[in-house]
Chains A and B, each alone.
Chain A
């Protein structure tokens, strides 16, 4: 399917509009019901575009201090995780590759769990030590997985996925072990393993913005290199692409994004797997076109899942990781069933 420029722009525009509407819904839905119209009015009055004298002060506080930061956090986590999924699927030429399968997420979660158990919860420069440990865990896991898989100075994709899966099991068992040892912290650690956006605040949002936006721009500038790498690494290097260097850079960026996401929200599975995959089926494999859409759709999917996690059993909250997996896994199976040929890409 060839999608021309104007049609592509239209799809991007619609996706962006959908994302904005979803964020507005996220701000409207909750134990205190606020109409979507009021949400927009409050937003506009905040920027002094309309007269805000009639806006309820409590609504304003709920929207700006609780719901908007949470929706924005969902937005950036969705972007970050789907961006990593898109990169991994291209580099490993395998639709099963995502930060969860390769152990990057578990590595971050273990790092965070160790920080919690040891009680080192300090913050420097707005970064908590938990985030730092999560990043260390992610980088270390990626490094170990890559080195187990490596033969000579190349890592074959099958080896990489297998060592990722093995590492994932190993790390998960350590996390469970830590939970058994330190029962006082079980609840906090369960939070990491199930994934939740309940801890959202503007500081988290800012942190994720600072990480995901530059990362997205760097990945975009490597779009042509990534396109060529997906057609085969030998060809890529014969065209002058520095394959190993590009891959290493992508691993570092990906680890950074995953660690930041996990340190803020825990392990949220399937976002990195499903969205890039659907985008590529619809828009084609070109990174230049797929990346912007993956970001928008990943964000929308995450915001939608968060709305559901808060409203399905309201006032109780379901961890958002449960919702994403609940959607993600069956949809993936449906895709496999519907078009087996395309999925094996």
Chain B
């Protein structure tokens, strides 16, 4: 990974955090918003495929925790775990934007499930089964849609010399 790629990833995470707390904080569909920060983390993991992606995910999650009222460390741990799953599974995907988007959706599903399980254990999740199910279904779909748009952009920005999307 080049310094340029890392700086771009940090910038991308900041933009995602700003979008998450502004645009997606207000504009929700069916009461649910995508997890833009997780999309940024996963798209970075696609191009990095190494330990920096896990550290990046941990830090991004920690900052996101600090900006919300959930316990510090909840998203940090979950994002780091999802990033680990991501770099272990990305090679099984085909190198096209739709395949990458579907994979982002799957990884998001893992993240949402982890959030609900760990969040419930630590008393951080305050919702009934219906609400939880709505998020389990909708957040991965929204992230998949975001990834279709963002995967080609991130591929071009983060590793322009590499061909394909993975």
Q: Do A and B bind each other?
A: no
